[in-house]
Amino acid sequence: MRYLAIDRIMSKDNLIESSARISKVLKKIISDRNELSAEESQKIDELEKDIIKESVFRLVSVRTPIEEFTPVKFDMIFDYENLNDTETVNLTVSHILLRNYYLMQFPLGHHCEIIVSFESGKPKLFEKLMTDDYDSIKIGFCNQSDWKNIKNQLMESKVEFEKWKIKQNIKKS
């Protein structure tokens, strides 16, 4: 099952604040360019241009459950709290940043910044995302072909979590 769990959107103001870090990442990569493949070098050039576009968003992906190379395409967004609330989109994850590293592939099990773009406007479900601050997982990205299995797995996980919470409360009593 391929999906990403997203907990926040990073504002353009935050981009200015974090630009020193991103710039440091890019400068390090650029200084090592002779070790980069042509594809990696091209991706760095794209990031420098993409990061300031209005149609591009920086998000935080939580405990990434996939290990795919960019670009990664998804065609659906879902509300993590209300799994019946979904939205059809044409979304591309084009860049991945993990702390001070630019990655060509998702890091399995890690939080990372992802740079995404949409063919048409900002999705409605983005309104659920906190800006710059962590709250909890709010939305997810997946493909419609995987949705039934993902939804079932997430529902089972929520039921198991509720059972666990009840057991914890009984033990405290």
Q: How many angstroms separate the Cα of 124 from the Cα of each of 67, 70, 88, 129, 165?
A: 27, 24, 10, 10, 32
Strands (DSSP E) found in the chain: 3-10, 56-62, 72-79, 86-98, 101-103, 112-118, 130-131, 139-142
Question: Residue 31 domain-assigned?
Answer: yes
Assigned token pair, 4: 């990403």
What domain count does the chain have? 1
Question: Residue 112 domain-assigned?
Answer: yes
Question: Residue 116 domain-assigned?
Answer: yes
Question: Residue 158 domain-assigned?
Answer: no
Q: What is the value of pTM for the model shown?
A: 0.77
Range of the domain at 134: 3-144
Question: Residue 30 domain-assigned?
Answer: yes
Question: Residue 126 domain-assigned?
Answer: yes
The residue among 8, 113, 122 whose CA lies nearest residue 54 is: 122
Q: What is the pLDDT along the chain (173 residues), one digit of tens a residue?
A: 788 888 888 876 666 555 556 666 666 666 665 566 677 667 767 776 677 677 778 788 888 778 888 899 999 999 999 999 999 999 999 888 887 677 888 888 788 888 898 888 788 998 898 888 887 889 999 999 999 999 999 999 888 888 887 888 787 76
